[in-house]
Structure 1
């Protein structure tokens, strides 16, 4: 069970550092935040147990792996029955092209961020998978021309 802990200034510095570089050792973190290595280790373990830190990943450059096209796609659902919702959620989880999915308020029901190798690749995903899914009523696609900001860091 996740417990709540009061984050102090040092905890927040640690969170900021590990968001930028998850490869930092406890000693490197300790040096940067002005604490001992053992203290940083205990703090990190406590933040993991409390659910503040939920994973460690390395980010991959999409261009280097042939996924340099980013598409923001709004999706409208046909219905909102529990079965339809579950089917759409499974479709999203099973589609590696979909890297983010949000349930939305407003005119559209979902917002997807999709990565593709090129326009033809995205068109294939859209026409052969997304629009053929029985829960999808329609979609609107917006191609990113340039990435001005992309971060996974949260302000702490």
Structure 2
């Protein structure tokens, strides 16, 4: 059963994206609604799949993941089976944070987080380049991160969150 999100639903999602630890009471107070109404809306948002889960955002630098590399990957062939096999293999690598099938000069774009260049060299030589289906790799090292957004913008001008160097502005 699908439903249309109203302004209250969007505000709830904005608040939870800002701080998933907010209680139903705190959300109700901020929105001028009853705790029961907020509880029911959050349960419905979860059931409908608008809320996929709740996570803590960990500072990558404190976890010794100082280097981000975007890797363009071209496969030897672009069949459905080859793409699925590549996705299965690469999704098992803990260094790969994100994997996207793309169009253009490459087939996939990976976001890789590692401690340093030496760790990337090991990842490249021992894992990624050993995949039989890979034809070409192009690595792009991030020099600086000027914007990192974890929350979707749901309503114009409402709760804009930008993170710089792991700190919320």
Which residue in the other structure is 1:51 paired with? Answer: 49
Which residue in the other structure is 2:162 paired with? Answer: none
CA drift of 1:83 comes to 3.1
**Aligned equivalents of 2:51, 2:116: Cα separation in 1:** 34
Which residue in the other structure is 2:166 paired with? Answer: none
CA drift of 1:37 comes to 1.1
- TM-score (norm. length: structure 2): 0.87
CA RMSD after TM alignment: 1.1
1:142 aligns with 2:134: no
Taking the TM superposition and a 5 Å limit, the aligned residue runs for 1:12-27 are 12-27=10-25
Alignment equivalent of 2:81, drawn from 80, 83, 89: 83
**Aligned equivalents of 2:31, 2:81: Cα separation in 1:** 49
Which residue in the other structure is 1:119 paired with? Answer: 117
- TM-score (norm. length: structure 1): 0.94
Corresponding residue pairs, total: 154
Spell out, residue by residue over 1:50-80, the C-alpha distance to the aligned partner (whole angstroms, 9 max, x if none).
Answer: 1111111111111001111111111101112
**Aligned equivalents of 1:80, 1:71: Cα separation in 2:** 23
Q: State the SS of the aligned residue for 1:60.
A: coil
Spell out, residue by residue over 1:69-105, the C-alpha distance to the aligned partner (whole angstroms, 9 max, x if none).
Answer: 1111111011123432222111122101000011001
**Aligned equivalents of 2:130, 2:90: Cα separation in 1:** 13
